[in-house]
Amino acid sequence: MMRTFSAFLIFCFTLTVSIRLMAGEPEPVLVNPDSTGGEAAGVAVESNIEIDELAAFDYIRAKERIYEQKFAEAIPFLELALKRDPKSAHLNNELAKAYAQVGDMEKAVACGQKAIEGDASKVDYRFNLAEALTAAKSYKEAKVQYLKIIELEPTNQRAGLSIAMIESELGDDNKAIDQLTKLVGETPESPLSLFYRARLYIEKNKITEAKADLERCLVLRPSFVEAGTALGLIFEKTNDIDEAIRVYSKIDGEGQFKKRLAFLYIQKNKLSEALESLLEYETSQPDDYTARVKLGLLHFELKNFDKAKNQFLQILKEQPDSDNVHFYLGWVYQAKKEWNLALSEFKKVTKESALFQESMIHAGFIYKETNRTKEGLTFTKSLIKKHKEVPEFYDLQASLFEGEKKFNEALKTLEAGLVQVKNDEKLLYFQAALFDKMGRSETAIGIMKKLIETNPEHAHALNFIAYYYADRGEHLAEAEEKAIKALTIRPNDGYIQDTLAWIKFKKGEFDEALAKIEKASELIPDEAIVYEHLGDIYSAKNNKEKAQVAYKKAVSLAKGKDKDMAQKIEHKLAILEGPLNASKKENRLPSTEKAE
């Protein structure tokens, strides 16, 4: 217990003021200064103090510095005062506190003991001595002082709490819990005993008991931030996010818990609630960089693009070198199709940033999307020259060549990349896909098989081979085995679902094929090939009406992207609608149908 509880003990003593006030201990009573100069100095002197007249001047000078938290400067004046009045219990106590503040616990303990020798009835003297002894890790001696305090004041809760903490620090958690349980019985309306008992229950992994105590704490004192934090963290660690949200929502923490709430709402995909919490948090913590960036991202996710833009621009005014924010702002501009502004922001991300590669890929995408292939190729050539070891840049350049149907140039780029980054899986996969597009399917399959030999869990390579076999109606058992394995690796991949549906179709298992293709259409609703397959399956099931709907959807998705595919599906639709329509469209078909 001693190895983990010491950190908690330190935490507990940071709450000393809270303990004193919540336990009902009054603050010091101050009166007007006497004629020795206190009024001129603006310092109040405690009443009922007996100090030698010669010592009073030095004492007042010390108190001036103590009120300014200048304890090291106060100590010499207190020492002078004590020389003038060496038997003063009060001066010894004040000096003990000052020594404790500067970390000299040995002197603090010595002065504290002299203070008690001077006046054994003063509870606050004993508290100061006990705390100094505790800080010096003289736990048994500290316990003696706390017990003396309880003799003087049997209902002193602060002393009782301190004894419980010391028992735990001495390694006896059971005694500590017994002490706290006793205090709970004596002062059932005080949350402190419950809180510390809960912390001990957590240490002993008695989570149910800890939760009960912390819940009671919050009933008694809804603003008890530490209790709310502890309870919320318990629920988070047990993955009960809804309960964590409930607890944090009730804490009167002046906005500080709204950030935590926002992140929990994000986990639950409740983005509007997350935004509301984070906006409230920002009012109390306007300089929290992480929260401000998260606000911008939430606006982006909620498609509030202008608000996201303004948020990121404001942050960049204050932190113009933030790579992350330049990247996010580029993201916003890209979503708004403000291509030049997006390109400018992505290019501002420095090469030292973890987002550098992704930023450059986004920039390359913009060149491709805006049909600025020549600029894009110049850009990617420069990237490759400076970063030969980055396979993504070869992939990016090859994709630009692919978009122009310059397959040989794309292959040369990938080969150059594979010289620099041998056996890179992404480059090899792209290479195989290009060979397939060029009609060199056997070469493509050979590369995919090598990929699987190197990485048996390569889902995309497994799916490629499975679809290749299915489309040709070959090796359907092997195709199905590979597709099922790929789907195990990537269960939410719509393309693999489509492959499995196509295998089932080729095997004549139309009902199973339909179930798989419907799942694929949910996962990738904008893919023409999925709706073409859906139409084929409905056609095979003699459901002409649904087949027509599916084919029309496929045509609408293919137009503008793949002219050949659109024409092929239109021909299927025409045949379904009648031979006359089919003959009218026959002359528009390509001479050979390309495999899907």
**pLDDT tens over the chain, length 596 residues:** 333 333 333 333 333 333 333 344 333 322 223 333 333 233 334 445 667 788 888 999 999 999 999 999 999 999 999 999 999 999 999 999 999 999 999 999 999 999 999 999 999 999 999 999 999 999 999 999 999 999 999 989 899 999 999 999 989 999 999 999 999 998 888 899 999 999 999 989 999 999 999 999 999 988 888 898 899 999 999 999 999 999 888 876 556 678 888 999 999 999 999 999 889 888 888 889 999 999 999 999 999 999 999 999 999 999 999 999 999 999 999 999 999 999 999 999 999 999 999 999 999 999 999 999 999 999 999 999 999 999 999 999 999 999 999 999 999 999 999 999 999 999 999 999 999 999 999 999 999 999 999 999 999 999 999 999 999 999 999 999 999 999 999 999 999 999 999 999 999 999 999 999 999 999 999 999 999 999 999 999 999 999 999 999 999 999 878 888 999 999 998 888 775 454 444 443 333 333 33
| Alpha-carbon span 290 to 165, nearest angstrom | 36
Q: Where are the beta strands (DSSP E) in 252-331?
A: none
SS3 category, 31: strand
| Alpha-carbon span 582 to 569, nearest angstrom | 11
407-424 b/e with 16+ CB inside 10 Å = b? Answer: bebbbebbebbbebbeeb
- Name the residue with tokens 């736990």: 139
| Alpha-carbon span 385 to 365, nearest angstrom | 19
Structure tokens at 94: 């004040």
Give the helix ranges, DSSP H, for 404-458. 407-420, 425-437, 441-454
Assess if CATH 1.10.260 describes domain 526-596.
no
280-305 b/e with 16+ CB inside 10 Å = b? Answer: ebbeeeeeeeebbbbbbbbbbeeebb
Give Cα separations from 354 to 8, 350, 357, 390, 436 (angstroms).
Answer: 36, 9, 7, 13, 34
Residue 10's identity, in one-letter code, is: I
Determine contact, residues 531/568, Cβ cutoff 8 Å.
Answer: no
Mutual angle of helices 191-203 and 173-186, in 10-degree steps: 160
Determine contact, residues 142/166, Cβ cutoff 8 Å.
Answer: yes
Determine contact, residues 271/301, Cβ cutoff 8 Å.
Answer: yes
Q: Where are the beta strands (DSSP E) in 331-487?
A: none
Q: Which residues make Cβ contacts (< 8 Å) with residue 334, sequence separation at least 6?
A: 342, 362, 366
CB count within 10 Å of CB 450 equals: 14
pTM over cut 0.75: no
Structure tokens at 582: 């089919």
318 burial type by CB count under 10 A (0-12 exposed, 13-18 middle, 19+ buried): exposed
Of residues 251, 361, 345, 343, the one with CA closest to residue 296: 345
Mutual angle of helices 494-506 and 510-523, in 10-degree steps: 160
Give Cα separations from 157 to 153, 163, 482 (angstroms).
Answer: 9, 10, 70
Domain coordinates of the chain in residue numbers?
Answer: 526-596
Q: How many Cα atoms within 13 Å fall on the side-chain side of residue 335?
A: 18
